Amino acid sequence: MDFGAIVSACLLVGGSGVVIGVLLGIAGRAFAVEVDEKEGKIRECLPGSNCGGCGYAGCDAAAAAIAKGEAPASACPVGGATVAARIGEVLGIQVESIKKVAFVKCSGDCQKAGNKYEYSGNHSCREAVYVTGKGAKKCTYGCLGLGSCVEACEFDAIHIENGIAVVDREKCVACGKCVKACPKELIEIIPYKSKYHVQCNSRDKGADVNKVCGTGCIGCSMCVKACPKDAVHVTDFLAKIDYEKCVGCGLCAQKCPKQVIK
């Protein structure tokens, strides 16, 4: 056995490893991506749910955006005011966070709104909406009640009750996944403190609404006339509340003949 050859081979392999290690170290320093120290601290503040409710791919992306000033300190809907305040401390700013919640713009339950036919396809709103008439419900704008929003929610904050989706305001973190899941665009994110909401999304004329739903908005504008703060307007036969102007007096709800303002 030639021990000299063995030693030479070991030295060659070991030397090669040392050289490669040095080169990798140099390359690592030369091509290292500088990470903002604030970004790491912001990431530690975020809950890590990676729900995408902030509009970014995950908490890492959200932290980077906040650190760069591309997203507000209150961008995380899951963390709410608590997380926003912590991020504000990292950034050295005072953050005002407004709690929000999802709202379903439909009150056409099994008693108030009927169906055109019996749907027997997959139990999915996103599939049923492609069936004739945009689903079985007579109102083409109404909730199909098949639970695509329920499936999308990671916080058990939305359920189907009496044929329509209903949000649990205390569980909802306003992540927005239910908004994206609804093919009828019936769900929106509103301020948690808002007291009155138009629970309808139909843009048909009043006579047509009355044919398919017992509680839909008929665009009569009585709510508009009743509002002392110019916070309610009717566009395309549908009333909508401006939550920045609304003071929660309830006069619009009192005057609504269809009781669709809840």
The predicted-structure confidence for 127-147, as pLDDT tens digits, reads as follows 999 998 899 999 999 999 999
Q: Are 121 and 151 members of one domain?
A: yes
Average the pLDDT over each of 63-77, 146-160, 178-192 and give the range with the smallest value.
63-77
Identify the CATH number of the domain in which residue 236 sits.
Answer: 3.30.70.20
For residue 79, is it within any domain? yes
What range defines the domain where residue 112 resides?
99-193
- Residue that is last in its domain, among 193, 215, 233: 193
Selected residue with higher pLDDT from 5 and 235: 235
Question: Mapped to the 3 state alphabet, what secondary structure does the chain carry?
Answer: CCHHHHHHHHHHHHHHHHHHHHHHHHHHHHCCCCCCHHHHHHHHHCCCCCCCCCCCCCHHHHHHHHHHCCCCCCCCCCCHHHHHHHHHHHHCCCCCCCCEEEEECCCCCCCCECECCCCCCCCCHHHHCCCCCCCCECCCCCCCCCCHHHHHCCCCCEEEECCEEEECCCCCCCCCHHHHHCCCCCEEEEECCCCCCECCCCCCCHHHHHHHECCCCCCCCHHHHHCCCCCEEEECCEEEECCCCCCCCCHHHHHCCCCCEC
Instruction: Taking residues 66-86, report their average pLDDT.
Output: 87
pLDDT reported for residue 30? 60
Average pLDDT of the chain is: 88
81 pLDDT tier (thresholds 50, 70, 90): confident
200 and 181: one domain?
no
Instruction: Verify that 105 and 173 share a domain, yes or no.
Output: yes
CATH (domain of 49): 1.10.15.40
State residue 244's pLDDT score: 93
The first and second tokens of residue 10, run together, are 């070991």
- Res 33 pLDDT > 70: no
pLDDT digits (tens, 9 = 90+) for 176-197: 999 999 999 999 999 999 999 9
Is the pLDDT at 5 greater than 80? The verdict is no
Assign 237 a pLDDT band (cuts: 50, 70, 90).
very high
